[in-house]
Amino acid sequence: MKKYVYSFGGGTADGDGKMKDILGGKGSGLAEMSRAGVPVPPGFTISTEVCNLFFENKNKVPKDVDEQIHAALEKLEAEMGKKLGGVDDPLLLSVRSGAKFSMPGMMNTILNLGLNDKTTEGLARKTGNARFAYDCYRRFIQMFGEVALHIDMAKFDHIFDSRKAQIKAKLDTDLDAADLKAIIAEYKKLVKNETGKDFPQDAVKQLMLARDAVFNSWNTPKAVYYRRMEKIPDSIGTAANVQAMVFGNMGDTSGTGVGFTRNPSTGEKVFYGEFLINAQGEDVVAGIRTPQPIAELAEVMPEAYKQLREITSNLEKHYHDVQDFEFTIEEGKLYMLQTRNGKRTGPAAVRVAVDMVEEGLISKKEAVQRVAPAQLDQLLHPVLDPAARKSLQKIATGLPASPGAAVGRAAFSSEDAVHLSAKGPVILVRKETTPDDIHGMDVSKGILTAVGGLTSHAAVVARGMGRPCVVGASTVAVDEAKKQAVISSNGKKLILKEGDWVSLDGTTGEVYLGQCKTNEPDPKSHYFAEFMKWADEFRGNFGVRANADIPRDAKQARLFGAEGIGLCRTEHMFFAEDRIPHMQAMILARDEKTRKKALQKLLPMQRKDFAGLFQAMNGFPVVIRTLDPPLHEFLPKRENLMVDIARLSHATPKEKKEMSNTYGVPVPQLKKHLPELLHRVEELHEFNPMLGHRGCRLGITYPEVTEMQARAIFEAAVQVAKKGVKVIPEVMIPLVGNVKELENQKALVVRVAQEVLSAAGLKNLKYYVGTMIEIPRAAMTADEVASEAEFFSFGTNDLTQTTMGLSRDDYTKFSRQYEDLKIFKADPFAVLDQEGVGLVIEHAVKLGRKTRPDLEVGICGEHGGEPSSVEFCYRVGMNYVSCSPYRVPIARLAAAQAAIAGEGKAEMQRTA
């Protein structure tokens, strides 16, 4: 019979730490700790496979699996010497979720399972502590009621808070056994009213309902949303871990806590975490009480603290990674409830990887594989400007939970955050976050909570998302209903309203009122620089370039390690205020002579731009794309022109002056100029401009445009080369679908190049002419195109549109449905469609190199900075990827990881 249930505890386990696929992260950790002799409460793990069987079997567990669960329960009862549902000395259980990949707070947990009216009395007699017994029972009803019976937690909270208010209790621990009994009675009435049934008294039935609730939590909206955000497959399912309870709420010699073997925010090698005395584990992570720093445990319970340090240190050495652990101390005795590789911020991931190499724990290759490429984005976040922050009012200080600066408008609920984020950056301000806030956290630039510690839900999830976060800002009183927060600052009350600007520093925990200026990060810091050096060693000859249109962006790209410019979009240069009038004059021209006259004014401006790019790249290649968009994009919108023509006759002098500035002509010429402009806009109107008169088609019908750009490119190359700087111009002709188009434009470029270079005495300056592959016909006839093209650069934004017949601008209207229904695995404009568009690319690469074996091949769409797309580009034999400057480090690391994976596959093939 196939095994579905795995026992652990007492120094043995059916599974081990390598079985994450079957046991999930939590279950494999419990099994491994049990084998290592770590004090772990015994229990059993119901495998992830059962979760999938559960859904396939119409939300029922198959009979043979049920039999294995009952057998494992009997084994646990024998080991503990207690029985689930036993009246005199009941066995109590926790039931927790645990997928292969950590999903903090997204799925369900139930504690104290097995309590009912009779077993609670038995527990009170056995322990001699009635308050403890009834506290456990009220917690169980509350947790089970929400998770398994689907009762709104707020209804339980209302009952609990009302009792506290009635007896004027400040803390939960101020409630005595009689108060807790009264609360339990009200809880049971609530259950009866909400479900029509009494609270279940059969302990075994409680277990089965809890197990099913854990499996069902795999498909809750928040869990589905988190998986989509973290790119976790839906098919892997979650395990359910059933474990004997140990109690941190038995008095002042008991407690519970969570921690990390290193700081998950910074990566510093310090013991990090928090604990609460006389509490259960959920109290810490839920942020209900603000816990104490874990270092203080050394004073409160020195022996338990010493043992905890020893165990967790050994676990880190065993796993060769930072450990995220949970523990409970029951009347002075330590129990480990969980260990798993800890989630950490990008800065922490890099520092830990570098430190662990220097400590001899892992190799450089392991270090490079240890950091997810997307995590590097967090190291490139801006920081609050030191001078600017001095001018702002500091309104609160909390715990620095996730580093970086965030500036945005305050929103006090996740729904409001989603709404406001459509208009600009948002800071989510909450009393504490819960897993239901995941959509609000996702759209926010930063998160601020009034309560909770460094291991609260807000802190853990924000770190995983790379969002700056400040928690436990106790002077902030959030009133979600009024959409405001009352902040006590310097003895005064300050009202923070929805929409007010807030600036927070997740590195220091400081919060400011107002919109603070931010500064760019330093990519030369020791840990980052060392780590990227190792990544480049494994990346080998695979290049990473940047998309940059102006010298400032090119310089930034070089700082981040770009090895050239893979795409300079020349049209962006024409939109500058001093250039658009000349561009419009060229478009309005009715003959070649007038057009050339306008282009002559643009030539020195383009030449200056190109010279700046060549200078910044200093010996690295610069790919410059000739004019690509249709001409109407450089003209005003038809509707705006019609309004201004109608307004002109009765406009005030001030309004006419504004129009003059807008259209770049003197006021007296507006009456003649605006109708001419409108007429030309109407002439240039196209039904489908994306497939219309643009790209190489413009250069063929208006060759003087391509000629001006080519002259500017080569004159700039001469200018910079004569300063002793090596220049490598690569001229890229866009939207080629037929080799004859490229032949036409290449001939023009080569003629101009020869003229300019000969005149300058630089005939030997090497340059290349190639094309952007963004039309399926060009890809299908790539062998013909390569007879003219010296390089290919795949424009995957347009290639995705033309291959899939999908408008990038319109896809957003139905993208959610397509991705929810799994029609598309992900947004094809963000993540390359390898099964469709990828096949077109792979075919074109092979055909192109068949004609020209030394053909240089790259990619310059947005996919060039997306890790899985970079891996694809490496696999199909491209020479480089190009992406935005801030994604260059991400692409460098993704390429290194692709190279390492390629080595591994090659080794497997050799040894097969």
Residues acting as catalytic residues: 457, 860
What single-letter amino acid sits at 320? Answer: H
Q: What's the Cα-to-Cα distance from 138 to each of 107, 175, 209, 695, rounded to whole Å? A: 21, 12, 18, 70
Alpha helices in 482-570 (DSSP H): 526-539, 551-559
Q: What's the Cα-to-Cα distance from 692 to each of 161, 372, 494, rounded to whole Å? A: 66, 41, 57
Instruction: With CA atoms as reference, report the closest residue to 104 among 94, 96, 113, 115.
Output: 96
- The SS3 call for residue 238 is strand
Q: What's the Cα-to-Cα distance from 326 to each of 642, 656, 833, rounded to whole Å? A: 67, 70, 40
CA distance 90 to 119: 6
DSSP summary character for residue 373: G
- The SS3 call for residue 248 is coil
Largest CA distance in the chain: 103
> Which residues are CB-contacts of 741 (< 8 A; sequence separation ≥ 6)?
696, 697, 700, 733
CB 296, CB 312: distance < 8 Å: no
Phi/psi-derived region of residue 217, left when phi > 0, alpha when psi is between -120 and 50, beta in every other case: alpha
- Supply the DSSP string of 844-880, one letter for each residue: HHHHHHHH-TT-EEEE-SGGGGSHHHHHHHHHTT-SE
CA distance 536 to 686: 46
CA distance 382 to 380: 7
Both tokens assigned to 106? 């997204």
| 177-195 helix and 153-166 helix, angle to the nearest 10 degrees | 150
CA angle 778, 779, 784 (to 5 degrees): 60
CA distance 861 to 899: 21
Per DSSP, what are the bridge partners of residue 883?
546
Q: What's the Cα-to-Cα distance from 814 to each of 345, 477, 806, 823, 862, rounded to whole Å? A: 33, 39, 11, 11, 21
Burial 521-536 (b: 16+ CB within 10 A, else e): bebeeebbebbbebbb
CB 119, CB 87: distance < 8 Å: yes
CA distance 444 to 423: 12
DSSP summary character for residue 762: -
Beta strands 333-341; 323-330: pairing state: antiparallel
Per DSSP, what are the bridge partners of residue 97?
240
Ranges assigned E (strand) in 707-747? 728-733
Per DSSP, what are the bridge partners of residue 90?
83
Instruction: With CA atoms as reference, report the closest residue to 107 among 117, 116, 96, 115.
Output: 96
- Supply the DSSP string of 391-405, one letter for each residue: TSEEEEE-EEEE-SE
CA distance 473 to 707: 62
**HEC letters along 2-31:** CCCEEEEECCEECCCCCCHHHHHHHHHHHH
CA distance 569 to 75: 69
Both tokens assigned to 763? 């005939």
